[in-house]
């Protein structure tokens, strides 16, 4: 699903440039539940932005769903994002003047789906995350966990290939964090490829595979030994 070869990325800082990603190789197959771990400055967010087509890489190759990503203009990137990717952010990034249902329906609008169908699909996904009864609430009327559930519903609405979650539990308490992770697990069990970025060990433990990043290189990439949870 995601194949990265010798990926480099640097950011200009004044006259110098900061080399953030130094030749990464990563392969994530369809249906995997992967976490990328690293302390701040390790390059994990940069990696996610490149995978999420929110930023461009300098060198190396990136295949998304078998398609080589290079020389993307904004329009193509937008279409690919809409088609293949669902985002979950640490700060939720819901549009504050739209209610939960409208927020979930927004990517469907950009996909070109009619209003009636948008409402129907959005409601289905809200139901899936257990917030059907909160459909007409504004983000300001929802708790942090509820907001993140709405954001997850929004990420799923277009039925993407990959869900990218950037510190999805960063702004949540441990109980809520756990339930959000349960939700992501459930989504993964249904076949969705999920990529989580985190710096919390116990969050990473809940995924199937942990990729550790340090100073722009992958230091380890291992499967998690699942404890019997049920």
Residues 104-133 close enough to bind another protein by CB under 8 A: 106-107, 109-111, 114-115
Least separation in angstroms between CB 111 and another protein: 7
Asked if 49 touches another protein (CB under 8 A), the answer is yes
CA-CA distances (angstroms) from residue 156 to 44, 152, 187, 201? 22, 6, 9, 25
Residues 56-75 close enough to bind another protein by CB under 8 A: 74-75
Label the pairing between strands 33-37 and 59-64. unpaired
Least separation in angstroms between CB 75 and another protein: 5
Least separation in angstroms between CB 93 and another protein: 5
Q: What is the residue-wise DSSP string for 74-104? A: HHHHHHHHHHHEEEE-TT----TTS-HHHHH
Residue closer to another protein, measured from CB, 5 or 55: 55
Q: Vertex 224, ends 221 and 226: CA angle to 5°? A: 170
List the structure tokens of 189.
């069990």
Asked if 9 touches another protein (CB under 8 A), the answer is no
Q: Which residues pair with 86 in a beta bridge?
A: 163
Residues within the interface to another protein (CB under 8 A)? 49, 52, 54-55, 74-75, 78-79, 81-83, 87, 89, 93-95, 97-98, 102, 106-107, 109-111, 114-115, 154, 158
């Amino acid at each position: 699903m995601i194949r990265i070869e010798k990926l480099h990325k640097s950011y200009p800082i004044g006259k110098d440039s900061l080399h953030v990603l130094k030749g990464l190789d990563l392969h994530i197959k369809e249906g995997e539940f992967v976490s990328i771990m690293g302390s701040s400055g390790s390059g994990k967010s940069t990696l996610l932005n490149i995978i999420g087509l929110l930023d461009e890489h300098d060198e190396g190759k990136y295949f998304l769903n078998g398609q080589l990503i290079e020389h993307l203009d904004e329009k193509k990137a937008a279409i690919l994002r809409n088609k293949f990717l669902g985002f979950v952010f640490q700060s939720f990034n819901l549009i504050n003047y739209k209610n939960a249902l409208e927020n979930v329906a927004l990517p469907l609008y950009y996909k070109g789906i009619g209003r009636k169908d948008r409402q129907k699909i959005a409601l289905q996904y809200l139901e899936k995350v257990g917030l059907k009864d909160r459909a007409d609430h504004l983000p300001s009327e929802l708790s942090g966990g509820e907001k993140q559930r709405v954001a997850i519903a929004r990420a799923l609405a277009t039925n993407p290939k990959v869900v990218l979650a950037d510190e999805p539990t960063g702004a949540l308490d441990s109980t809520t964090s756990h339930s959000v992770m349960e939700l992501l697990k459930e989504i993964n069990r249904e076949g969705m490829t999920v990529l989580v970025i985190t710096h919390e060990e116990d969050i990473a433990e809940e995924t199937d595979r942990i990729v550790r990043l340090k100073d722009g290189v992958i230091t380890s990439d291992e499967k998690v030994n699942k404890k019997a949870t049920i």
